[in-house]
C-alpha cells in the first residue's frame, strides 16, 4: 500500500445520512452536497462518485481548484457550484463548463459578463447577499446598482441563485443575529424579485439552520458536516431531540461515515521509572509494554493529544503515552494479551465493541469536528466499503 495508514468511507452510512437529511429538508427542497476542504477530509475524488451513487447531483465547493477536481470525477449530469474563490482568468473555464459561482462584488460581476461574452454563453451566477455576517456579499445599499447592472447585461447572465450565509446558526447565542439575517435576506431577495431579478434557487441553509431554523430551507439546502455523520454542534443535536416527533428517539440518526486505521509498527518493554519518547512528558510508573504506531501530527493526529489521546487495539481503548511525534505515536498495550506487530490499530472508527469518534479528538483538544477532519492529508489512501 506504500502508506502507514488508510481511511475507509462507508457507503451504507452515507446513504442513511442522506435519507435522513432529505427527509428533514422535505420533498421539494434540492440537496446540495458541500465538498469543500477535500470533502471535509473524506477525499473529493472518492466521495463525489460515491455521493452520486447515492443520488446526489449538486455539489458545492469553495474554490476553482476544488471545482476542477470535482468536475473531473463527477458524472455529466451533476452540477458544481463555487461558493468562494475563483480568479477572473478562471471564469472562462467555469462558464464554458456550466459551473456556477457566487458573485458578491461588482468587480466579479463585471468579470463574469466579460467571460460570458468571450464564451458566447451565459454565466451561471449566484448572488450572495450581505445580511449581517460581514464577510462577503452585496450590501443592501448596493441594491439599485445591482439590479440596474443585471438588467443591462441580462443577456449574458443566468441568475441561478440568491444566497446568504448565517453567522453561527449552530449556537443559540447567535439567535437574534440569525433572526435579523433571515429578515434582511427576505427583504433583499423580495426587492430583487419585485424589480424583475428572479433567481431559480433561493438558498441560505446549511446543516445547522436546516435543524434550528426550518424557515431557511427555501429551494435548496447546502449540507456539509451533517452528511458526513456529525452534528454541527451539541446544541444543534439537542434542538433536534426536542422536536415532538423524535422525543423518544434513543439512537443518533447520523452515522459517522469515516474510519481511520493503521497497524502496530513495533513493540517494546519499558521499565518503571523510564521516560518514553521525547523529553520527560511521560514516565512509566510500572513495567509496561508499549507499541509504536506509524502515524503522527503530519498525518492529522493532533500533537495536543500527547498523553491524552486514545486508540483501539484488540477492541480495547489504549492510551497515547508521551509526545505525539511528526510521524509516530506511542500507546501502552500492557492490557492487550497476545498483541503483536502488524495488529490493527483504529484511530477513528469501531473495533469489536468499542468505538473512537472524531468528537473524542475534538473534545480533548478544543478543536471542532470540521478542523479535525480537514487536517487528514490527501495522501492517505481512501477506500469505499459497504
Domain ends where: 224, 246, 268?
A: 246
The residues, any chain, with a CB within 8 Å of residue 140's CB and separated by 6 or more, are: 130, 184, 187, 188
Residue 125 lies in a domain: yes
Query: Do both 84 and 190 map to the same domain?
Result: yes
Query: Do both 69 and 207 map to the same domain?
Result: yes
Query: Do both 113 and 160 map to the same domain?
Result: yes
Place of cell 447585461: 153
Residue 363 lies in a domain: no
Residue 368 lies in a domain: no
Q: What is the pLDDT of residue 353?
A: 93
| Active site annotation includes 36 | yes
Query: Do both 162 and 277 map to the same domain?
Result: no
What pTM was estimated for this model as a whole?
0.95
Residue 191 lies in a domain: yes
Query: Do both 313 and 164 map to the same domain?
Result: no
Query: Do both 234 and 299 map to the same domain?
Result: no
Query: Do both 83 and 172 map to the same domain?
Result: yes
Domain ends where: 246, 278, 310?
A: 246
Closest CA to 80 of 118, 121, 126, 117: 126
Structural domains of the chain, count: 2
Query: Do both 143 and 281 map to the same domain?
Result: no
**Mean pLDDT taken over the chain:** 96
Residue 242 pLDDT class (50, 70, 90 cuts): confident
From the list 234, 268, 278, 340, the catalytic residue is 278
The residues, any chain, with a CB within 8 Å of residue 301's CB and separated by 6 or more, are: 295, 309, 324, 329, 347
Query: Do both 268 and 207 map to the same domain?
Result: no
Residue 244 pLDDT class (50, 70, 90 cuts): confident
Domain ends where: 213, 246, 279?
A: 246
Read off the pLDDT of each residue in 234-250 and give the average, rounded to a whole number.
83
Residue 252 lies in a domain: no
pLDDT surpasses 80 at 1: no
pLDDT digits (tens, 9 = 90+) for 98-155: 999 999 999 999 999 999 999 999 999 999 999 999 999 999 999 999 999 999 999 9
Query: Do both 147 and 46 map to the same domain?
Result: yes
* CATH code for position 309: 2.40.37.10
What domain range is 291 assigned to? Answer: 258-356
pLDDT digits (tens, 9 = 90+) for 264-319: 999 999 999 999 999 999 999 999 999 999 999 999 999 999 999 999 999 999 99
* CATH code for position 31: 3.20.20.10
Residue 52 lies in a domain: yes
Residue 44 lies in a domain: yes
| Active site annotation includes 310 | no
The residues, any chain, with a CB within 8 Å of residue 80's CB and separated by 6 or more, are: 59, 61, 67, 70, 71, 74, 99, 100
Residue 245 pLDDT class (50, 70, 90 cuts): confident
Which residue positions form the known binding site for substrate? Answer: 135, 326
From the list 36, 74, 217, 261, the catalytic residue is 36
pLDDT digits (tens, 9 = 90+) for 31-67: 999 999 999 999 999 999 999 999 999 999 999 999 9
Query: Do both 49 and 171 map to the same domain?
Result: yes
3-state secondary structure the chain: CCCCEEEEEEHHHHHHHHHHHHHHHCCCCEEEEECHHHHHCCCHHHHHHHHHHCCCCEEEEEEHHHHHHHHHHCCCCCEEEEEEECCHHHHHHHHHCCCEEEECCHHHHHHHHHHHHHHCCCEEEEEEECCCCCCCCECHHHHHHHHHHHHHCHHHEEEEEEECCCCCCCCHHHHHHHHHHHHHHHHHHHHHHHCCCCCCEEEEECHHHHHHCHHHCCCEEEECHHHHCCCCCHHHHHHHHCCHHHCCCCCCCCCCCEEEEEECCEEEEECCCCECCCCCCCECCCCEEEEEECCCHHHCCCHHHCCCCEEEECCEEEEECCCCCCCCEEEECCCCCCCCCCCEEEEEEEECCEEECHHHHHHHHCCCHHHHHHCCCCCCCEEEEC
Query: Do both 46 and 86 map to the same domain?
Result: yes
Residue 196 lies in a domain: yes
Amino acid at each position: 500500500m506504500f502508506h502507514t495508514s488508510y481511511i475507509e468511507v462507508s457507503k451504507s452510512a452515507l446513504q442513511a445520512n442522506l435519507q435522513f437529511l432529505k427527509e428533514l429538508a422535505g420533498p421539494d427542497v434540492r440537496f446540495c452536497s458541500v465538498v469543500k476542504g477535500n470533502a471535509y477530509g473524506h477525499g473529493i475524488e472518492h466521495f463525489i462518485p460515491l455521493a452520486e451513487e447515492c443520488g446526489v447531483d449538486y455539489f458545492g465547493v469553495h474554490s476553482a481548484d476544488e471545482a476542477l477536481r470535482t468536475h473531473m470525477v463527477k458524472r455529466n449530469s451533476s452540477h458544481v457550484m463555487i461558493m468562494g474563490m475563483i480568479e477572473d482568468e478562471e471564469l472562462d473555464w467555469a462558464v464554458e463548463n456550466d459551473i456556477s459561482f457566487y458573485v458578491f462584488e461588482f468587480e466579479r460581476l463585471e468579470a463574469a459578463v466579460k467571460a460570458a461574452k468571450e464564451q458566447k454563453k451565459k454565466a451561471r451566477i449566484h448572488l450572495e447577499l450581505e445580511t449581517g455576517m460581514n464577510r462577503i456579499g452585496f450590501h443592501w445599499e448596493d441594491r439599485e446598482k445591482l439590479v440596474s447592472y443585471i438588467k443591462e447585461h441580462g443577456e449574458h447572465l443566468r441568475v441561478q441563485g440568491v444566497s446568504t450565509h448565517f453567522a453561527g446558526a449552530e449556537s443559540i447565542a447567535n439567535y437574534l443575529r440569525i433572526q435579523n439575517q433571515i429578515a434582511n435576506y427576505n427583504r433583499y431577495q423580495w426587492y430583487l424579485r419585485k424589480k424583475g431579478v428572479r433567481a431559480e434557487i433561493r438558498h441560505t441553509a446549511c446543516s445547522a439552520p436546516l435543524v434550528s431554523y426550518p424557515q431557511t430551507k427555501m429551494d435548496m439546502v447546502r449540507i456539509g458536516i451533517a452528511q458526513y455523520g456529525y452534528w454541527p454542534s451539541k446544541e444543534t443535536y439537542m434542538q433536534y431531540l426536542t422536536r415532538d416527533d423524535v422525543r423518544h428517539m434513543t439512537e443518533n440518526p447520523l452515522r459517522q461515515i469515516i474510519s481511520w486505521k493503521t497497524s502496530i509498527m513495533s513493540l517494546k518493554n519499558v521499565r518503571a521509572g523510564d521516560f518514553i519518547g521525547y523529553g520527560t512528558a511521560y514516565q512509566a510508573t510500572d513495567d509496561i509494554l508499549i507499541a509504536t504506531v506509524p502515524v503522527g501530527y503530519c498525518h492529522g493526529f493532533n500533537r495536543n493529544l500527547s498523553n491524552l489521546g486514545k486508540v483501539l487495539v484488540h477492541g480495547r481503548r489504549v492510551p497515547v503515552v508521551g509526545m505525539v511525534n511528526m510521524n509516530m505515536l506511542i500507546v501502552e498495550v500492557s492490557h492487550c494479551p497476545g498483541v503483536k506487530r502488524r495488529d490493527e490499530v483504529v484511530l477513528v472508527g469501531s473495533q469489536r465493541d468499542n468505538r473512537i469518534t472524531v468528537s473524542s479528538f475534538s473534545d480533548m483538544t478544543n478543536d471542532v469536528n470540521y478542523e479535525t477532519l480537514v487536517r487528514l492529508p490527501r495522501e492517505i489512501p481512501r477506500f469505499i466499503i459497504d
